[in-house]
Structure 1
Amino acid sequence: MSPASSCRAPAGAGLPLVTVSSYYGSDGYDSYGDRGEYGDHGGRRRVTSSRPRVNAGTLWAGGAATALVAALVGVVATLVVTGVFDIPVIAPANAEGAVDYIGAVWLAGFGVVGSFLATALAHLLMLVAPRPMAFLGWIVGLVTVVFVVWPFTIAVELEVQIASALVYIVMGIAIGSLVSGMATRAIEEY
């Protein structure tokens, strides 16, 4: 019996005509995108999941490569901003509202930590979220906005605020684009 065929109740049962296609659609897929297999009168159904698998090796290798790129972006950005333009880069210090002038090594470390956190978030979202890349993009984008706006909320020179914001936006774009690209490559359909 084909998925679009109708099933009739025994004569005189008073039950209405039921079509399998009313639930599954004419292509045999239900409203969740799952393909059903039908027995007599649609009574038995085997559903295979349309949820993709995550290739963790590919994802975390991409996360490690992203960490290296983010570290290098931090080093280059600090060398350009501090070495060429003689403007310090700032970061939050331990005390509330305090800032610290950081060097290339510290900014590279922040890039590595941010990359691994973004990779872990991508992995988690790919396992549980319905549209993981959309959520990842929003989360990484909003965290980047927080770091870009933060220098303008403290009392330092305008050039330090602008330079620090530019460094953070470049690092955020690098981390977000690379992690989301590698996460997309790590999806395996089955």
Structure 2
Amino acid sequence: MTVQPTQGGAHAVAGGRLWAGGVATAVVSALIALVGILLARGIFDVPVLAPEGEGTWGDADTPKYALYCALAALLATGLLHLLLISTPRPLQFFSWIIGLAAVAGAVAPFVANGSTGSKVATGLINLAVGIAIGTLLSGSARAAMRDRRTAR
């Protein structure tokens, strides 16, 4: 499906291609969260998202956190699609939004209770997920945009 942008836009968007990239980004985001938790808990012995007694995989919060990371990627895909069809310089706006969201995600653990190690690990995982979402979806958007002259 090709969606034509609002008047003055220079590109058409291949929605299916963009959303395929979004789903792939969601999988990568969830895996980054899982790998980050495994590294923090299993190698560095930092209790991320669960008390120390829960082991390397943690508790029920571990898959929930991975799911939230995947959902964040899908929400970002929806935002990106909206920006692509409605705004000038959509990738610039998207980069700013995702960049600020990634910084907020990295800083957020420091306002909660917990050990410093847990806060640092969670902040780094959040930052890695944000960077992955931003870079992977920006690349997907470039691949999904076609010059209007070639889309006809």
Q: 1:111 to 1:51 in 2, by over 3 A?
A: same
Query: Alpha-carbon deviation of 1:157?
Result: 1.4
Identity among equivalent positions (%) equals: 40
Query: Alpha-carbon deviation of 1:102?
Result: 6.4
Query: Alpha-carbon deviation of 1:51?
Result: 2.4
Query: Alpha-carbon deviation of 1:50?
Result: 5.1
Q: Which one has a bigger Cα radius of gyration?
A: 1
**Equivalents in 2 of 1:64, 1:180: separation in Å?**
14
TM-score normalized by structure 2? 0.81
Query: Alpha-carbon deviation of 1:104?
Result: 3.1
Matched, 1:159 2:120: no
Q: Unaligned stretches of 5+ in structure 1?
A: 1-47, 92-100
**How do 1:105-144 and structure 2 match up within 5 A?**
105-144=63-102
Q: Deviations over 1:98-153 (max 9, x none)?
A: xxx86431221011101100100000000111010001011111111111111112
Q: Unaligned stretches of 5+ in structure 2?
A: 1-6, 51-58
Larger relative contact order (C-alpha < 8 A, sep ≥ 6)?
Answer: 2
Question: How many equivalent residue pairs?
Answer: 134
Letter matched to residue 144 of structure 1: A
**Equivalents in 1 of 2:8, 2:62: separation in Å?**
47
**Equivalents in 1 of 2:132, 2:140: separation in Å?**
12
Let me know the Cα RMSD of the aligned residues: 1.9
Q: Is the 8 A contact 2:46 2:121 kept in 1?
A: yes
Q: 1:130 to 1:76 in 2, by over 3 A?
A: same
Match among 78, 89, 95 for residue 37 of structure 2: 78
Which one has a larger percent helix, Structure 1 or Structure 2?
2
Give runs of ≥4 in structure 1 deviating > 2 Å.
48-51, 88-91, 101-104
